[in-house]
Structure 1
């Protein structure tokens, strides 16, 4: 290691050819700036990737098992998937399109088309971090409390604005 430092010091402190020393110093500054820029870009990209993964994979499943027609044997499939040591959690869900009708306090009403995802709340909470992205309310509100109580609904912010819906 001592040899490398000696050669480097001689190049940087060249007394006879001052021009070589200036070029060497400019090169060193250029390399330092390039490495700094690359380090900053890699740090920003790494942070972006991590945040992207958390946002996308935190709400969407890594694996989605679907079947054409009715899927009555989903419990057996869930049990089979749960036995795998690489599977961290499973939850049943149903997806469908629907029309939402919201009655306004003024007597009017608003309609909007929506894509609905029905979930089993206890198991859904174990495989998602949806609560982190909710601006208002709690994910526990999805479960209807008491006898005959209607389960809750979570609306996206844009759909809630369009319907002029409020929590409660």
Structure 2
């Protein structure tokens, strides 16, 4: 019965028209603060989740999960090495490649980047590039036809499109004369353009592996073999097992050597952002303390009357816990609704803002991906909701305890 009385009186105090408008204003501010803090926290966590997911898909989809190479100039008998690699239970496929750094020239423009010589039929099994072509395809790479596939960033900086000519200059196999060093150069025809919307768009180009072998004078050698695993996050363990499986003349590395720091930084940033934004919710929640302290002072006579009618200190305490918690509950629910709605529609909102003001919020040539991703995880929403509600309940304890300690005789002395 006491619980129902505490609930009824607490709800009545919350819903009743307050004579002190300043108390009402403070209560409204705390409610809005909790809602805004919850919205920001859910949205930022979703953006961090989106960045982590998109980077994992787009960057780790383009870079090798594991690289197997031979110490020295390159891998000699790559088909035999491939047979040994694919026997591992966690390996999906392996593909040879020849890579070299190059300078690209076209229409008076120059660009520096990486050239990869690949076998199209094998590259499809170890890379996501086939899903991101905006013109042409991997199948357009034919041996001895000297075709080249460009990332959209490279194509734009050179001002070229399908069918245009691009001159490649490389230092490998260059000639030295009294006039100085002359790099090797060869004209290629653009047969494909891809857009992964990551750093690969402005760095990576592809040619057929036979053309790359002829251009770099590697003969039958390949630079290394690219390996795709079942679980990219466990690639380091697969690399460790392959290292023990192969001869000592081979070296094995995984993506953690090149991009591991990036993903560790994202994980740390997500944790730190969560902690810092939780403090915003905490500040708003503890505004409830101010509100309830003022309410307790304003309701001294009411508390005294309830005590004289038989209400216990525990009942008085529950009344004010209900009142303060209800403000926090309403603010949290409004924040969750707003945060979930914003997180789900954030890419569209950002795209609208970019189109409206003609700006690029996430430039692809500056960041690792060229758009603002958002991925809502319901476990994050549940955690944020639980933390916000816990903080609001915690904030009510002291004012409620103070109310329960009110002496009826003292409170009614001057009434």
CA distance in 2, matches of 1:115, 1:16: 70
CA distance in 2, matches of 1:114, 1:28: 53
CA distance in 2, matches of 1:82, 1:8: 68
Task: Give the 3-state SS of the residue equivalent to 1:91 in structure 2.
Answer: strand
Structure 1 residues 13 and 112: alpha-carbon distance in aligned structure 2, compared to 1, 3 A threshold: closer
Q: Does residue 1:152 correspond to 2:154, yes or no?
A: no
CA distance in 1, matches of 2:88, 2:19: 70
Q: Does residue 1:95 correspond to 2:76, yes or no?
A: no
Q: Does residue 1:54 correspond to 2:53, yes or no?
A: no
Q: Does residue 1:69 correspond to 2:73, yes or no?
A: yes
Note the aligned Cα RMSD (angstroms): 3.6
Contact 1:142–1:153 (CA<8 Å) still a contact in 2?
A: yes
Higher-helix-fraction structure: 2
CA distance in 1, matches of 2:121, 2:41: 45
Deviation at 1:66, TM superposition (A): 2.5
2:30 equivalent in structure 1: 27
Deviation at 1:71, TM superposition (A): 1.1
CA distance in 2, matches of 1:158, 1:15: 62
Deviation at 1:8, TM superposition (A): 6.3
Which of 8, 11, 32 matches 1:9?
11
CA distance in 2, matches of 1:83, 1:11: 72
Task: Give the 3-state SS of the residue equivalent to 2:56 in structure 1.
Answer: helix
CA distance in 1, matches of 2:56, 2:46: 15
Deviation at 1:114, TM superposition (A): 5.0
1:134 equivalent in structure 2: 133
Contact 2:18–2:24 (CA<8 Å) still a contact in 1?
A: no
Contact 1:99–1:113 (CA<8 Å) still a contact in 2?
A: yes
Deviation at 1:23, TM superposition (A): 3.2
Deviation at 1:116, TM superposition (A): 1.8
Task: Give the 3-state SS of the residue equivalent to 1:92 in structure 2.
Answer: strand
Relative contact order (C-alpha < 8 Å, sep 6+): which is higher? 2
CA distance in 2, matches of 1:93, 1:87: 17
Contact 1:111–1:163 (CA<8 Å) still a contact in 2?
A: no
CA distance in 2, matches of 1:83, 1:8: 69
Deviation at 1:163, TM superposition (A): 7.3
Gaps of 5+ in 1: none
Deviation at 1:46, TM superposition (A): 1.7
Structure 1 residues 83 and 53: alpha-carbon distance in aligned structure 2, compared to 1, 3 A threshold: same
Structure 1 residues 112 and 34: alpha-carbon distance in aligned structure 2, compared to 1, 3 A threshold: closer
Contact 1:12–1:24 (CA<8 Å) still a contact in 2?
A: no
TM superposition score normalised by structure 2: 0.32
Q: Give the total of aligned pairs.
A: 157
Task: Give the 3-state SS of the residue equivalent to 2:66 in structure 1.
Answer: coil
CA distance in 1, matches of 2:137, 2:27: 62
Gaps of 5+ in 2: 165-189, 192-415
Deviation at 1:94, TM superposition (A): 1.3
Which of 147, 150, 162 matches 2:158?
162
